[in-house]
Structure 1
Amino acid sequence: MEQEDSNAPSNSIPQDVILHKAESPWRPRREQNQTETDEDTKVTADLYKRVRSILNKLTPQKFQTLVKQLSEMEINTEERLEGVTDLIVERAIDIRGPCYCVAYACMCRYLVMIKVASTSKQGEYVNFRSILLTRCQKEFEKGKDCEKEIEERRKVIEETQDLEKREELCKELEISKIKGKNRSLGNIRFIGELFNLKMLTESIMHDCLFKLLGAKDEVSLECVCWLLSTIGNDLDTDEARPRVDQYFNQMDKIVQEKTISSRVRFKLQDVIDLRKCNWIPRGNPQTPKTLYQIHKEVKKEIQKRQIFLHQLKAQHKPKQERGKGAKGSRSQSGSEMGASGGWDVVGNQTTPSQGQSRESSRWRELHRVEIEKSSKTAPPTAKELTDEEMEKKTKTILDEYLHLHDIKEAILCVEELKSPSVMHTFVSSAVNYVLERSHIARNQTGLLLRDLVKKSVLSVPVYIQGLTEVIQYAEKMEITIPKIWQYFGELIGPMIQDGSVPLNFLRKAAEPLKENNKAGLLVAEVLHAASHREGHKKVGSLWRLSSLKWEDFMASGDVKKFIVDKKVEFTVEDDSETSTSTVFVSMEAIQDKLQHLLIKEKADNEVIFGWIDESVDDPNMKSNKFIRALMTSVCESAITGSGSSARVLPEVIKNRGDLLRKYLDHRAESELQALYALQALVHKLEHPQGVLRTLFDILYDEDIISEDAFNQWEKSKDPNEQEGKRVAIKQVEQFFTWLREAEDDVSDS
């Protein structure tokens, strides 16, 4: 046995050896990609969740805010852009959302310029418009596949011997047919609204109608009726009339043959009659309207809706496209569809499919030539608009503004008119256009004119010139419009309500009416309209600061009687009238007075403003007790009935919106106190079903209380505010689910 060599190296490893760790250890590529993919998937899922939330909350009142949020999201890959497009289209054509087609189409118009790098073609980009049109085309072509599927299922049903199973299959088939029909109708309506916004061309519409009429099934014929009802007036041009005549000859033939149900025959006949009446609807078609339109202008707004949709296209174009002629814009925007069904975006480098018709190829060639011409030709020098052109532009801008409530965009559109010599025509046209419309339309137009003057887009002399062009005929209009002076007051009132424009402009504006002794009448209505939002005290102060006198508008001998008759005493300094403001009034007395004014007297807002300004000092005005007293009184005045039959009158809350907004002033604590007051009120009323939910809906929609305040109220654990809280939370559970976006409901839609 050999001796062990003492110099041989030891095989044992020391226990304290520390192994070197690389800063970036090697991992299999599959694991690296998986980690990146998981993170990307998470971000994409979060994006889709936020988009669903926005679509859930989309209302005309919040349109601009929500679209802005959507456009600012990180839609930076082709997959995400396609996913967002799918969500929008699905919601637009959903059975529960056809009345919002206009809003979703407008949303698409705002997103039309989004583009991202293509994943399949390196160095190229895909844009929202092309993805949207491809999606709509696929949905349109699903009809054929659905028909084939239905036929196959019918054969299966006929071959099924089991009666119970057969009956079950029949029910499932009927449900599928109804869903398919609703999707087809929703998609067609959406396509029509996209055409009205110039995202689709006439050629696509003609091809859709040709295919639908050729199918001859009842669903397709209903789609024809919907499409022509939506876009027929725009499509029935001199150039296209021969083709449209062919459609209607075929429709008339189908009606005469009586091979389809009476219901669809009557729908076809209604559209035929509509064309005979120059596309002017006889009744009240169910078209998209804002909440204001539903409650205030149903009869008048319906007839003007198609005009709005026809004109909205010009203002929704990208800036570089604005100002082009109708034909040019129509041929250079939207897309073309060949006979084989290819919807290709104009301007994109795409290869036409082999089966396209000569007509579609000719249209495509015309578009190509026009695009090349426009790219080579320098834009013409802008020239000032004529009075007639300015009038048309004014109506277009106002229609978009009153529909979308986007005052910044409206101001931008007016700035782009760049026709200083006829800007007074913008004012006179705007006043004329909304004079006989709703109170909301007049007030909103007044706010727009005020902001245009504040931002120096319009000068005060130009505003007065345009205003006087209409006012000088006011006395003659009084015969047919008895409330003409009130209407003028609502239009001019916003100009003075915050003191941004010196009040003495009224002296010049009312000048044409002095001869007929109507100047004072106009001024009184203007002051009352301003007081309705700001209160007598503030407007009276503005009057006195302006150095105006009633003698400027009438004979001095008529002034005293006029002031009393027209209830404009607040314009005259009188210590006896204002002395009450120095007297302490208890909160109990304030609450009793508010109850009396709001519930018993149903006083105008300006009367309530005046009393508060005179009787409640600033510390009390901002106190929690005052806010609660005001909120309780306003909401009590809007509740009719008692017990289980109690319900809310929404118009009352809306009419008191200015009152609540002024004193809540979007302060977080005041809004929270207002919600506590509501909680206490419904608890006192023993929680009548639906009352609190209706109040929450109105306060949110009218922008009286913010989303943050509602969430703060829901999460509040204040021990002093828990009485009735649990029941109240239960009653508005769906409201908060809607606010947070009910993912389960959305996934089922």
Structure 2
Amino acid sequence: MLGNIKFIGELGKLDLIHESILHKCIKTLLEKKKRVQLKDMGEDLECLCQIMRTVGPRLDHEKAKSLMDQYYGRMRSLMNNKDLPARIRFLLQDTVELRENNWVPRKAFIDNGPKTINQIRQDAVKDLGVFIPQMSQGIRTDFFQESPFLPARIKPDRETLGGLADMFGQMPGSGIGTGPGVIQDRFSPTMGRRTNPLFNGHGGHMAPAPQPFMKSNQGQNLLFQNQTHSSQQQAQSKDMPPRFIKKGQLNADEISLRPAQSFILNKNQMPKLQPQIPTMIPPSAQPPRTSTPPLGQPPQLGLKTNPPPIQEKPQKTIKKPPPAKEELLKMTENVVTAYLSSKHMNDAVNGVREMKAPKHFLPEMLSKMIMCSLESPDEDREHVSTLINMLRMEGLVTGENFMQAFLNVLDQCPKIELDVPLVKSYLAQFAARAIIAELVSMAELAHPLENGTHFPLFLLCLQQMTKMKDREWLTDLFQQSKVNMQKMLPEIDQNKDRMLEILEGKGLSFLFPLMKLEKELLKQIIADPAPQTIYKWIKDNISPKLHTDKGFVNILMTSFLQYIIHEMYTTESDDQLSAPTKEQLDQEKQLLLGFKPVMQKFLHEHVDLQVSALYALQVHCNAHAFPKGMLLRYFVNFYDMEIIEEEAFLAWKEDIAQEFPGKGKALFQVNQWLTWLETAEEEESEEEAD
């Protein structure tokens, strides 16, 4: 299953799958299956995290923000559920944090790629405190290996001689010589595999002695000589006059065992190592990189004149560990107690700020604030709600933290109800004030309470908002939230009749004025079918805002059609509906003519409302199994009476909405008449053009 989800996600990332299909997949993975425990949903939640990581950035835009917020609200509630395995909870947490980080994964900030030489040098200086000099084109890379100023014993590539050479040959300027009494072996310096100017050769003449370690004023012009001059000097050493050849062994005073001053690096005088930028000047035009140091200065053995400093790694500061959970809870209780006694908002906010609570503790902190005020008077609960909203405005907490805290307290309701029986009413006050203060939205509150979870908490919250605000404000907010009220009820009560009964009991039926209209309007038509009486009743009982609502037109048309069937037939049998008599057909037409003024009043010049009236007719015929000829008769009568215009008929034909049942059968019955209507309209257009 996980492989299929990865495949779907990759297709969605390439825009090969529509967003609606991706949303449907996410909803399917989030829904709790019947007879399936939460701990067995691990595979679905793992697939959910996978598809969110893949297509989350594509779906998280302004239009789908409310849906994404609902998804992640559900994921946060599951993230804190101990029934799920730890691996699944951590997957959910990683996915939630990924969205909070603007869909940038944490590994994107870590540079694990290859590095350049300059980057390695900078890392060495920064982390290890070691300076690696950079070898440029003008300096020989084998300077420290073949320099005539270094003794042979420190050359890294010198072969191990062994034998007597281990004892004498390693010393600069020394040799065991030749002649009788000297044992020659393959390790002797004179029998070596390479020619060494430190030892006597077999030619019978003395080789020139090597240059010792010189003082700073003796060899200033010898350090940076190029390779050609060095090789020429070695080649001409045999032919040099005797006065230039230093005879005898080196004196001990001339051999310095201390390192040259150039090797002692002053860290405070070294500039920071900077990456070198290649120049566009050709090598021929560039100044020589090796030069003889000025007279009076010691030679710099392969190092720059001003070497960069070695930056020491800063000492790590030991952070003070955050307070323990029990300490934070005690501090929160003290802040709330002091605030309720003094009512000083700034002191309470500063107290929370000084706590420096970690982010994962914020929901528990808010839960503690709510718990501390449950047994207090209504005034104190209002003050705590104001404090929580102020903390949000100061950026110390978020709406998500409040929702997690609210749900945590709800989970403890069975225990709290033993001491505080009205705990749900008090929590409804907190939720209502949070929605009014825009701390959370109504949709965010409704999502975790679907299918009757903690029923009737959501209805209690609506009641509290009615008291704090007014009905009109709450009606507008509820319609904007697009919350499905039937889903907020227990599964056994999820039908229109039961929902209307429950809402009337809670005093919330004003949220669904059309549902109440559906029952009352038919009663009014049966009592007095006169069009003037019907219009006056609608004007007195229905808000003018609803007169252009599609739901109102649907109910109005359905009520008229139900009344016509009620008057025409004694029993609604299939035989009577499919084969009406001539008298019944005339009666049907007369009843439609009677309702014509009312229908024209609300449908005239509103094509979209006329389409809604046709859909009401379609559903009415579908409920009676499409009696033969009924839909076509009504279409013809509506057209002849000029209740519905040609444009509305054609728009209904082309519309592909699936929310109303029976569209296919309806088209089959009236398709020929619609084709005639379309052809007749085209002919009229041609005649007008002529």
Same fold per superposition (TM over 0.5): no
Structure possessing the higher relative contact order (Cα contacts under 8 Å, 6 or more residues apart): 1
Which structure is higher in helix share? 1
Q: Between Structure 1 and Structure 2, whose CA radius of gyration is higher?
A: 2
Structure-1-length-normalised TM-score: 0.30
